[in-house]
């Protein structure tokens, strides 16, 4: 087992406040000025483990069948919040990633999806209240996540392909993680670009594991 607990402890002390910062620190996050930063704990050939500090988002819930039905309406609700639908009538800069909470369910069942915009550093302490009741401020706790990334457009097909690849790798390594839902993180605007970057995150339970995954994954 690769274990960096001493190093991780040090990183946690150095980064006690929410880490939203300059996007130049992340090569795959270059469409916004600020991005969500993290500490890399370990990685293997399939996934990496990251530590994220507790951080605030503006979020909306949407009950539906699949992400295709909620991406546009949820995006617009959050976009309106950052362009003035808040009690301070503030214009708030866009950040990355846009994070979605994806329930893992049968395609025929409706369930709650979430979409969140990360609040920029200057709004982390005291974000203006949303004026739309469907939109709320959410604080995610400090957490470790298993991450796999891919470079195509995000949709149900790509998201479930890579969430399955990641969960298969975690299951075969007998790793503990929160099941039943995952996060989908998008870093790109919809406009065409050479190299897109999307991610699937599972929340780590217990100690993060980065043993080499021995089975080949197609
Ligand atoms: C962002 O980074 C990608 C590679 O990661 C590069 O192809 C693209 O040109 C960059 N875009 C900008 C606006 O710098
Ligand atoms: C939004 O959905 C999440 C995840 O299902 C749930 O935990 C939360 O209570 C919901 N919040 C609101 C305001 O509907």
pTM for the whole structure: 0.88
Provide the pLDDT for residue 107.
85
Q: Which of 6, 3, 89 is nearest to 42 (CA)?
A: 3
- Point out the ligand 1 atom lying closest to the alpha carbon of residue 195: 7
Question: To test ligand 1's pocket by mutation, which of 27, 32, 194 has the most ligand atoms within 8 angstroms of CB?
Answer: 194
Provide the pLDDT for residue 190.
82
Q: Which of 26, 48, 51 is nearest to 39 (CA)?
A: 51
Provide the pLDDT for residue 5.
55
Provide the pLDDT for residue 53.
96
pLDDT tens, position by position, 63-79: 999 999 999 999 999 99
In the chain, which stretches have pLDDT less than 70?
Answer: 1-18, 213-218
Say how many residues make up the chain.
Answer: 218
Q: Which ligand is nearest to the CA of 151?
A: 1
Residue 136 Cβ contacting ligand 2 at under 6 Å: yes
In the chain the domains, ranked by start, together with CATH numbers, are 1-218 (3.20.80.10)
Q: Is 42 helix (H, G, I), strand (E, B) or coil?
A: strand
Eight-class DSSP state of 45: S
As a whole number of angstroms, the distance between CA 55 and CA 120 comes to: 10
Provide the pLDDT for residue 213.
67
What backbone phi and psi angles, to 5 degrees, belong to 23? Answer: -65, -15
Provide the pLDDT for residue 83.
98
As a whole number of angstroms, the distance between CA 58 and CA 117 comes to: 5
Q: Which ligand is nearest to the CA of 137?
A: 2
């Amino acid at each position: 087992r690769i274990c960096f607990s001493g190093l991780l402890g040090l990183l946690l002390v150095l980064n006690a406040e929410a880490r939203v910062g300059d996007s130049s620190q992340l090569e795959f996050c270059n469409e916004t000025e600020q991005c969500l930063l993290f500490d890399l704990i370990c990685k293997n050939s399939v996934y990496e483990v990251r530590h994220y500090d507790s951080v605030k988002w503006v979020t909306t819930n949407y009950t539906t069948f699949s992400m295709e039905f909620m991406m546009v309406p949820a995006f617009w609700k959050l976009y309106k919040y950052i362009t003035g639908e808040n009690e301070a009538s503030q214009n708030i800069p866009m950040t990355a990633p846009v994070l979605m909470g994806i329930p893992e369910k049968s395609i025929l069942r409706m369930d709650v999806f979430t979409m969140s915009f990360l609040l920029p550093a200057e709004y982390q302490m005291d974000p203006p209240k949303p004026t739309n009741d469907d939109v709320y401020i959410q604080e995610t706790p400090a957490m470790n996540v298993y991450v796999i990334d891919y470079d195509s457009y995000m949709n149900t097909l790509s998201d479930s392909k890579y969430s399955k690849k990641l969960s298969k790798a975690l299951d075969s390594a007998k790793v503990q993680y929160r099941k039943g839902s995952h996060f989908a993180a998008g870093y790109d605007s919809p406009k065409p670009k050479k190299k897109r970057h999307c991610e699937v995150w599972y929340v780590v339970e217990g100690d993060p594991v980065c043993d080499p995954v021995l089975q080949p994954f197609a």
